[in-house]
Structure 1
Amino acid sequence: MAPAMKIVFGLLTFVTVGMIIGAFLQLAFIHKLEVESYSRPGTIRLENDREAESLRLGYVKPEIISWFPRIIVLHNFLSMEECDYLRAIAMPRLQVSTVVDTKTGKGIKSDVRTSSGMFLSPNERKYPMIQQIEKRISVFAQVPVENGELMQVLRYEKNQFYKPHHDYFSDTFNLKRGGQRIATMLMYLSDNVEGGETYFPLAGDGDCICGGKTMKGLSVKPVKGDAILFWSMGLDGQSDPNSIHGGCEVLSGEKWSATKWMRQKVTS
């Protein structure tokens, strides 16, 4: 190789290596800023850092697990404090869970659902931490807060389950207030549960574990703080039958969850 070519080759190599090192240093610097912005109390590095903190920006990690139906797992969606807060509110008022009667719109007992639960009141919806969670749900789901139903907190004990069902309504009575349910945010509030997965039998093309059994479809294991966002309506605005889902049988421990249903129109 001619001396001139060696010099050119050496310069190109030096520049390339420098660019690579510079890119890594830039990524490291950005990561450092992100960590400091969201983990150090009182540190304000963003213009609206409080709102960023309430939305858990930098903590929530979305994972798309299905496009048909649309399902996204939002890792670290709730803080541990928020999970414990919702459980504490619900504990004294748990009652046997019901399903919606298509004729009256009222809750009725059914062997389809064997958990216990309660709904937050309109007044509790005004509590700062509840408002913070509802705003986060609205931002990630891109559905206005006022289109959401009252949040429901559920507890599944050993051998309890919720058979596969759709969240959208198939009757006209329940459509009168707020229209059709378009999306659901299901948030896990407890750990150390065996079984209790959320099961989507018509999602994916493989096998999954549901209550200790191998089944066709997709399932999401309960992890405290994680949430599942899925849509009951397709992009065409029609109800999506593939959004059928259920709560697998709990084999040990207690599974706690909170559910927020979102409608086409204002519900409150």
Structure 2
Amino acid sequence: MDYEEALDIPEFHGDDLWENGFLKQCLFPVNEPSDLSCFTYRVEFENVKIEVLSIDPILLVYHQFASHHEIKNFLADAHGREFSSLKVYRGEGDESVSRHREANGTNFFHEESAGIGTVYRKVARSIPAVDFEKSEQWQVLSYLPGGHYVPHHDYYDYESEDYWDETMRNFGNRFATLLLVLKTADQGGETVYPLLQRTITPEAGDVIFWTDLDRLGQGNYNSLHGACPILEGEKIAATLWIRERGQPMMINDEKSRLFDIERLTMPQIRST
């Protein structure tokens, strides 16, 4: 791998699956200039601070979303359960294990414990445009040195409905993803969006939110994203994948591809 050799980066399991240009964006972030805006609104006496990085797909960073105390309690609850290697399978009848992700983790119900439930309820009330009851369980992942997730899409792209599981049939595809950063690595571990030319280096407590589908229910190819390899330290993040069925943002009388982003950035004004 050219960039790996040039920077003397240790080899990691699955490094051959990274395109050189994508890995380069981890090592040499080049963020496209943006004329998009930052927004702040209040929910129950707390400021919600949003940075808009893209509108197609929507890509937002909620800065300082979770407090130090909330992060500490979430992590304490999460560490009460053993983290094991979570396999990624190729799907559509292929049960072989993919090498695209190297991480350990576990799953939790939305409000399984006090610390985790507190954060879930804060997410639900702070982002009212999204129905988080239609989201999958929390998935909490720990990435250690060499850990990574090759750029991928969160939405499912089945060749046939014959492969749909019960969740897909009942709740539809993954409409959006919410990623809560609980701990940052000493080096590495950024979240990269190669097709958007965006590399995010978040702080603990930040939330990254993006849409996986467009408003017509089709997968948004530009939502391609990955977890950059960890060079030093540990990264821990918690993910909610939100399903499309019954989502207010999917209502689309005008048959537009694009979401009304103001429902997220100005929820008090665009509540209907």
Distance 1:129 1:254 in 2: 21
Match of 2:236 in 1: 256
Distance 1:95 1:102 in 2: 20
Distance 1:93 1:257 in 2: 15
Supply the AA of the counterpart residue of 2:118: Q
> Considering only CA atoms, is the larger Rg found in Structure 1 or Structure 2?
1
Deviation at 1:192, TM superposition (A): 5.0
SS of the counterpart of 1:93? coil
Deviation at 1:154, TM superposition (A): 0.7
Distance 1:187 1:240 in 2: 21
Residues 13-57 of structure 1: per-residue CA shift (max 9 Å, x gap): xxxxxxxxxxxxxxxxxxxxx9xxx9xxxxxxxxxxxx715xxx2
Distance 1:89 1:99 in 2: 24
Is 1:150 aligned to residue 140 of structure 2?
no
CA RMSD of aligned residues (A): 2.5
Deviation at 1:104, TM superposition (A): 6.2
Q: Structure 1 or 2: larger helix share?
A: 1
Is 1:265 aligned to residue 258 of structure 2?
no
SS of the counterpart of 1:158? coil
Supply the AA of the counterpart residue of 1:147: K
Distance 1:177 1:84 in 2: 35
Deviation at 1:134, TM superposition (A): 2.1
Match of 1:4 in 2: none
From the superposition, tell whether residues 238 and 115 of structure 1 become closer, same or farther in structure 2 (CA, over 3 Å).
Answer: same
* Structure 1 portions without partners, runs of 5+: 1-33, 39-50, 204-216
Is 1:228 aligned to residue 208 of structure 2?
yes
Is 1:52 aligned to residue 41 of structure 2?
no
- Name which of 81, 85, 91 aligns with 1:96: 85
Normalised TM-score (structure 2) = 0.66
Residues 137-191 of structure 1: per-residue CA shift (max 9 Å, x gap): 3342622232011001111011110000100011242422421100100011113
Equivalenced residues, count? 198
Is 1:75 aligned to residue 67 of structure 2?
no
Deviation at 1:97, TM superposition (A): 2.0
Identity rate, percent: 31
Match of 2:199 in 1: 219
From the superposition, tell whether residues 149 and 61 of structure 1 become closer, same or farther in structure 2 (CA, over 3 Å).
Answer: same
Residues 70-101 of structure 1: per-residue CA shift (max 9 Å, x gap): 10000011111222222222233201122255
Match of 1:200 in 2: 193
Distance 2:181 2:101 in 1: 18
Distance 1:221 1:138 in 2: 24
Is 1:166 aligned to residue 150 of structure 2?
no
From the superposition, tell whether residues 148 and 94 of structure 1 become closer, same or farther in structure 2 (CA, over 3 Å).
Answer: same
Supply the AA of the counterpart residue of 1:190: K
Contact 1:87–1:153 at 8 Å: present in 2 too? Answer: no
